[in-house]
Amino acid sequence: MIYLLGALALVAALSGAFGAWEHKGKLAAEAQVQALGAKIELQNAAVDQMAAEGARKALAASKALKVAEGRAATWDAQAAHLRGVLNRRNATDPQDCKAAWQEIRKP
């Protein structure tokens, strides 16, 4: 009977030690989860900041594109006007620069 009580005591002691070891591992895992959660929050904040910066740059690029499109339309209109002037030109027309500028400046 004494051996049975000793065996039960040994099992109880080993069980308690195993439980303490498991609890210690659980606490370490929970601490690691909290640390990783904090890192994820920092990364999410960085992603949000990068998204805001990207949106700002996209807006600036959109504005610059509109300006460039306006300038391109102006240049296209001027090129079309000059092509029209060249197509209307006759060999009998004056060939000096002053006459050319007057023809180009006509609406």
34-80 pLDDT tens trace: 999 999 999 999 999 999 999 999 999 999 999 999 999 999 998 99
Helices 2-88, 97-105: axis angle to 10 degrees equals 120
How many domains is the chain built from? Answer: 1
Q: What would the pLDDT profile of 51-64 be if each residue is shown by its tens digit? A: 999 999 999 999 99
pLDDT at 23: 72
**Is the separation of the CB atoms in 104 and 86 below 8 Å?**
no
Report the alpha-carbon distance of residue 102 to residue 4 in Å, rounded.
Answer: 122
Q: Judge whether residue 28 has pLDDT over 90.
A: no
pLDDT at 1: 79
The two most distant CA atoms of the chain are separated, in Å, by 135
pLDDT at 85: 84
User: What's the pLDDT band for 86 if we cut at 50, 70, 90?
Assistant: confident
Domain coverage including residue 25: 2-105
**Is the separation of the CB atoms in 81 and 59 below 8 Å?**
no
Give burial (CB, 10 Å; 0-12/13-18/19+) of 85: middle
Q: HSE-up of 66 (CA within 13 Å, CB side)?
A: 5
